[in-house]
Structure 1
Amino acid sequence: MSGISHLARAGQGLLAGGLIGTLGGLIGLGGAEFRLPVLVGLFRLDTLEAIIFNKAMSLVVVAVALFARLGTIPVGEMLEHAGVVLNLLAGSLIGAWWAAGHAMTMARRWLDRVVMVLLVGLALLLLSEAWLGLGDAAAALIAEGWLRLGLGLLAGFGIGMVAALLGVAGGELLIPTIVLLYGLDIKLAGSLSLAVSLPTMIAGFTRYTQSDAFTVLGRERPLFGAMAAGSILGAVLGGLMLGWVPTQWLTTLLGVILLISAIKTFQHSH
């Protein structure tokens, strides 16, 4: 690929990363679920390459986000709820490792189908959070005990699978789970979700190093750097613009966009 092509892709990556980061910042997400269709549809990466690329990008964004939130939610407050993090991590680490291993050996058409179904599911979840008030619970649905511990393990396993198969942090799944299952404040849940996401993504990322598609990170290094910079700047900008746009309407719009882009990008697998 020529230097001009690399420069053009880097410019597109900076713009795409900035837009996705801004929108994600406005609703409190990293934006990885929106980045995946762009990587496949616009930048023409193979599905598995796009997942690995997205996973590496999500690691950078989540690490920055976790550090940035320490001023609002200090480490001490998070440590008080370490049991929640460990409960979910016990399932998510296994789920991420298992799903990443299967993604590397799965036929391309089936991987596309799985990705499309998961993205459509996330789109519907966004719409549900916007209009049904998921994530607004004030008390835990289930009292502390073995049942909640078991449900936490199962939820973590499922979230770890989704995170590995899409290359996302999983905040759109983790935050409602922490709020509803454990009855915690949504701001605290946001920080705890990042504490679960980071080790989970590292587990999936480590598994993907065994894949030939991992070379995409070296081949697309300029695109990665530009998109990472755009994503971080966009997330900061989105956070500063928080409150300018009604969250319900923005979440609805993004849910519809994700739904359409997921089907349009991955429907060729049918």
Structure 2
Amino acid sequence: MDANQRKHMGLLSGTLIGTLGGLIGLGGAEFRLPVLVGLFRLPTLEAVILNKAMSLVVVSAALVFRIQTIPATLLADHADVAINLLAGSLVGAWWAAGHAIRMPRHWLNRIIMVLLALLSLVMLAEALFGTAGGSAPLFQSPLLRYPAGLLAGFGIGTVAALLGVAGGELLIPTIVLLYGLDIKLAGSLSLVVSLPTMIVGFARYTGSDAFQVIRQEQSLFRFMAAGSILGAGLGGLLLGIVPTQAMMAALGIILLLSAIKTFQHSR
């Protein structure tokens, strides 16, 4: 694939992934990672780093767009939720990114394949059972709820760093179920938690030789990130036309198959 083909395919794939992600309320980074490895033939760690960089751009844009719907004052009222999750996710992202840099590539492939498979199962579970909003918190006592938030944040930060994703697929149901908040508010709070978490993981990756992929793949980065933002906007406009649960179930199956196929055979 020559340079022009990579640009065009980057824009096209980014737009498609962003549109699908926008339809179900995600950034699409979970689907972008297999594409970077399988279609563009990037080594796994380099693909994770490039995915992380694109996720930063997409999440920043999404947060700006969502402020129009969910005002900053409402987010500030629930700052304790974001702080609780961030206390765990920042540590998890720093720890996981540091281990990913030193980990043998075949082990990184296996771990990423398992994590993507688990994410696909989470999507299928949400499609089958849905995510209720506005219910009571899972734990009424803060003495139980906040330690649970720390542990959940650590796990989500670990997954986000290893996959180069924002982690919304895990953050949103966690915020809804653990803290009993509305799903729309949970979507905006997840972005507030995701952005610092990704910045910490991204900063950790700067110590790796693989970080050179940002410079080497500048064109692919620009075109795919632009496509992802465009697609996210299109997905938001199409929201409600396609049944969300059916779309999530289909994408969960696609993610599972693509994860196994891509990372089982990648070197």
Compute the TM-score of the two structures, normalised by the length of structure 1: 0.97
Listed one character per residue, the Cα deviations across residues 115-145 of structure 1 (whole Å, up to 9, x for unaligned) are: 0000000000000000012354622111141
Q: 1:82 to 1:230 in 2, by over 3 A?
A: same
User: Equivalent residue of 1:260, what SS?
Assistant: helix
The answer (yes or no) to whether the contact 2:134–2:176 under 8 Å persists in 1 is: yes
The answer (yes or no) to whether the contact 1:163–1:169 under 8 Å persists in 2 is: yes
1:194 alignment partner, one of 184, 191, 201: 191
Counterpart of 2:169 in structure 1: which amino acid? E
- Is the aligned partner of 1:164 residue 2:148? no
1:133 alignment partner, one of 114, 130, 155: 130
Paired residue for 1:184? 181
Identity value in percent: 69
The answer (yes or no) to whether the contact 2:10–2:220 under 8 Å persists in 1 is: yes
The answer (yes or no) to whether the contact 2:84–2:149 under 8 Å persists in 1 is: yes
Rounded to whole Å, the distance in 1 between the matches of 2:133 and 2:70 is 19
User: Equivalent residue of 1:168, what SS?
Assistant: coil
- Is the aligned partner of 1:204 residue 2:201? yes
Deviates more, 1:139-148 or 1:33-42: 139-148
Rounded to whole Å, the distance in 1 between the matches of 2:162 and 2:132 is 24
The answer (yes or no) to whether the contact 1:110–1:269 under 8 Å persists in 2 is: no
Paired residue for 1:36? 33
Stretches (4+) displaced over 4 A: none
Paired residue for 2:223? 226
Rounded to whole Å, the distance in 1 between the matches of 2:186 and 2:99 is 30
- Is the aligned partner of 1:261 residue 2:261? no
Rounded to whole Å, the distance in 1 between the matches of 2:266 and 2:2 is 28
Deviates more, 1:8-17 or 1:140-149: 140-149
Paired residue for 1:9? 6
Rounded to whole Å, the distance in 1 between the matches of 2:78 and 2:135 is 16
Q: 1:137 to 1:73 in 2, by over 3 A?
A: closer
Listed one character per residue, the Cα deviations across residues 237-266 of structure 1 (whole Å, up to 9, x for unaligned) are: 000000010111100110000000000001
Counterpart of 2:102 in structure 1: which amino acid? T
Listed one character per residue, the Cα deviations across residues 21-56 of structure 1 (whole Å, up to 9, x for unaligned) are: 000000000000000000000000000000000000
Paired residue for 1:147? 144
Q: 1:124 to 1:146 in 2, by over 3 A?
A: same
- Is the aligned partner of 1:61 residue 2:73? no
Rounded to whole Å, the distance in 2 between the matches of 1:228 and 1:158 is 26
Paired residue for 1:241? 238
Runs of 5+ unmatched residues, structure 2: none
Paired residue for 1:106? 103
Counterpart of 1:98 in structure 2: which amino acid? W
Rounded to whole Å, the distance in 2 between the matches of 1:28 and 1:244 is 14
Rounded to whole Å, the distance in 2 between the matches of 1:79 and 1:223 is 36
Structural RMSD (CA): 1.2
Listed one character per residue, the Cα deviations across residues 208-229 of structure 1 (whole Å, up to 9, x for unaligned) are: 0000000001000000000011
The answer (yes or no) to whether the contact 1:113–1:269 under 8 Å persists in 2 is: no
Runs of 5+ unmatched residues, structure 1: none
